[in-house]
Structure formats: C-alpha cells, structure tokens
Structure 1
C-alpha cells in the first residue's frame, strides 16, 4: 500500500477551523469507542481522543496519557457549516 503524502512545510498547508458539538452530559470512559473524541470539560475545550482501553491522546500536542477510568464529554466534529460561515 502507498504511504500517506505529506506537506513539505507549513507554508504548503492551509489554515482550517472546525466546528463541533459537545455533549451536555458526561459519559463513562468505558462507553467511548476507540478513536472517539472527548473533552474533560463540558465546553469541549482541549479535545482528546481515546486511543485504546487505557490510553488517550491530547490533540493539541499528541501527548499520550494513561487512563484508568472517569467521566468525560463526547465531542463530535460537525460537517454542516453555519449560516455565519456561509456569509463570510
């Protein structure tokens, strides 16, 4: 299989902005599926991703954290632009 292409430098990249939704109710760590995004805060700040049953990855710096359990808020990226974004 071919490898993923990569950008030569940051100058070859575009700036992007993602919209997302954050659950209002916390869920148990065990209910998240692998590679599902979550936040420890109900406002969705500092999103993370569940990597395995006992590991999470902070998306800001790709730091791997060991996790034994707890509660978190699911984060879902939205693929529907808002009216404000369409008018820009």
Structure 2
C-alpha cells in the first residue's frame, strides 16, 4: 500500500543544489520508488535533474509518494530527512 505525505519546504533557499543532492542520495538508499509532486509535476526523487527541475521554493508544499518493499521505513525516514534538511 502506497505511503504518502505532504511537506512544506522551510529552507530560505528552497530545494537548491546541495539539499537536492542530499535528497537524491537519501532516496537512493531505498528499494522503493519515491515520487515527489509539486504543482501537478511529478519526478523521481532518485534523479537529481528531476528534483532540481521542480523549482521548489521556501513555502512550497510537495507531496511525496513511496511505493515498494521497504515503503513504510522509507517514507518514515525520508519524511524525517526532509524535516531536518529542508
């Protein structure tokens, strides 16, 4: 069953290169597919250019969907990562 949560970016610089790179690295630790959606555009969280292409700014809300064998653990840890880094 797909795990889903929303997150509002609080970093003043939004999802710029450094946190986007960290985010992709974190996503790649999981077997599950992790999709980030902002404003109707969805990207694979394991692809840096997709993540950067969302143009996420401070105050933007993103929806994250996690699906796969380790989805519960992946969703919990990925959400914690976002809260700590963005």
Per the normalisation by structure 1, the TM-score is 0.34
Structure scoring higher RCO (CA < 8 A, sep ≥ 6) equals 2
Larger helix fraction of residues: 2
